[in-house]
Structure 1
Amino acid sequence: MTALVMDSPLQVRASGRNAAFSPLRYPGGKAALANFFGDVIERLGISNARYVEPYAGGVGAGIALLRQDRVQELVINDIDPAVHSFWRAVVEYPDKFADLVVNTPLNVDEWRNQKHVYREANESNYLALGFAFFYLNRTNRSGILNAGPIGGMDQSGNYKIDARYNRQQLAERISRIGELSSRITVISLDGASVARQYAGDPSSFTYIDPPYVEAGGSLYLNSFTYRDHAQLAKSLDRCPDGNWIVTYDPSDFIRRIYAKHDVREYELNYSANRTGKARELLIASRPVARVLA
């Protein structure tokens, strides 16, 4: 890992193949950071590490690290009822979920049906709610829940509703997660409380990826207020010597509320010739900052 240069971003070499482990499409997903996180965990010397995501979403990095045995346990938290229902259903009923993936029709009528289930938000039937969330995530434009289906309601677009829905591939991802279910814990709590619970645990590595300051309202269903961001920062102020990383969009506000911690820009690089994405902020606890130095 590259040492910090104050006028240059931290260069992080990404691996695009890790994105293939999660069944979900997520705006701003961080699966490409899996190798980076794995290296940090090793350099921290955490044995039998627990990897925690308080704002889980697609959990692309966590699934990759678990499948590669770079961590021994995965804690998935998301307070959104539909996201929580998805992960709970996948972990508890992977075979049933995979059957739904393979056998549910892919057309606008079924899209309307799944949209209705999603809007009803009946958490008592978490298999149905979780699948409805998954179905919309895979068939909506850019995977955004409040968008319409790929190809439009009349399916006149260049791409159709099934463009991002490879049945067999997705069912295989579900099944592979099911094989690891004994090592996965799924909870549905406020993300800041989960961060407080695990950020100071020496056996855990906590990756905190909250809704972003500027783009959060358009990318996430559960957007943060400025007060929420500040409260999360205060929670982490109490755990300066834990093993944690937070990522954010570049923001003077974020730099200000995390002033007690190591804050730097980082940039994902997928290859020597291609920059993966625009610069973002990475906030690190003291132990993590030391291994990045």
Structure 2
Amino acid sequence: MPEGHVIHRLASALTESFGGDPVQVTSPQGRFAFEAERLDGSVLTGAEAVGKHLFISFDVPEPALVHIHLGLIGKLFIGPGEPSKGQVRLRITDGRTTAHLHGPQWCRAITRAERDAVVAASGPDPLRADSDPEVGYQRLKRSGKSIAALLMDQKIAAGVGNIFRAEVLFRHRLSPNTPGKDVDRHTWQVIYDDLVGLMHTAVGAGRIDTVVDEHGPDAQGRLPRVDRHGGEVYVYRRAGDPCLVCGRPVRTAMLEGRNMYWCGNCQRRRRAA
């Protein structure tokens, strides 16, 4: 499932490509055909991301928003050239650039009030300046679940996925098993502030990098990481490999259906320094 920086990049690309222009809207697959016919020929006024939710606005009477959640297998492609073939749920084009959506978890027409309800239920998004990290902290403090599980809860920190979860905990040497109710406000703020920086960098770069220079390939005389996700990371998908800091094998375990990665030697703290 794409992490939040990917959805923010898509929102920016949609706004840059189509914002303020009339567009053709279709649903070749047919499952969004009624809504697409209503939107066809209208002006796409912009797009925004909230966590892993994508909202596209049109200048039509309510419901004037398309709400997309890619889920585990959804893909949204934006670029020049001929529209793609296959099971296309939603296609948007101005004749020069085309966006085509495949296999989303959600693609629905909603009102502004429904959009606001989705935002209210979401946790603070580190990529949005209007987010309040205190909202996430208050939800975190009410739970006995581990901080590793809670960071994947979109009601705690919207847009954070498995990579950012694993990496931010390692960067502050925090034990992934620390219960949320034991996380103090200082530690939460350190986590959140670091996510703000990491995720904004990922938006700009189009990849996730979390390793500081002193632990990078050049400093350590090793080859750059090769992975379809790209980027230099400390523990994510490095199970059994030596920790870049202490050399001990990186651990992995299943946590609520997802693989968790951490270093048992480095990550012993329950409070951020």
TM-score using structure 2 length = 0.32
Choose 1 or 2 for highest CA Rg: 2
Higher relative contact order (CA 8 A, sep 6+): 1
Identify, as 1 or 2, the structure richer in helix.
Answer: 1
